[in-house]
Amino acid sequence: MIVGVPREIKNEEYRVAVTPVGVKELVRAGHAAVVEVGAGVGSGFTDEDYLAAGAELAAVDEVFARADMIVKVKEPLEVEWPRFKPDQILYTYLHLGAGYAKPLTEAMMACGIRAIAYETVETATGAHPLLFPMSEVAGRLAIQAGATHLQKANGGSGVLLGGVTGVPPAKVVVIGGGTVGVNAAKIAVGM
């Protein structure tokens, strides 16, 4: 199978769906990987990293045209929809409950792509293993974002989240006890 990894084009999205280590595993399992030039740059991976792992580099149109499976992080944007081809597999977060889901769903149905949404992958116990790591990241980043917004230079009150000698730390309230909340609490306690 040829696995295609396009660069994410959604605004402020810097992740890449498959790292060079992932490419190496795909190649080791007998698959080929075609990665868009520059796809990993936002996550700290160079094109050379992908080449060393066994990937081929290509322009976005070639990635979509050659791939049996497209692996992304975020839902495809409208500019990507014409690149879908019949029976191609799309593996990504699709957020099908969001407001833009109907046009995306219609585009996928019209071309006959087979879509698998990360958020719907479930283990036998009902766990969502592909949501868990993103929820961990979201919880940890929430506290960092909060600390940034507390800084005076960013329009905040100037309170240091962790405090310093003689100055009490900020108070943090975490609402929710799921994976996001637990990870937010862990980081808040550590600061």
Closest CA to 63 of 45, 30, 40: 40
Please, which residues bridge with residue 90 across strands? Answer: 70, 115
CB 60 within 8 A of CB 38: no
Residue 35: which residues within 8 A CB-CB, separation 6 or more?
A: 4, 5, 18, 23, 47, 50, 55, 56, 57, 58, 63
Written as one letter, the residue type at 166 is G
H or E stretch covering 63: helix 60-66
Distance of CA 180 to the CA centre of its chain: 15
Q: How many residues comprise the chain? A: 191
Do residues 120 and 92 touch, judged by C-beta distance below 8 A? no
Q: How many helices (H) and strands (E) does the chain have?
A: 6, 6
**Does residue 95 have an active-site annotation?**
yes
Contact residues for 176 (Cβ-Cβ < 8 A; gap 6+):
none
Which of 31, 95, 128, 149 is labelled catalytic?
95
Which residues are catalytically annotated?
Answer: 95
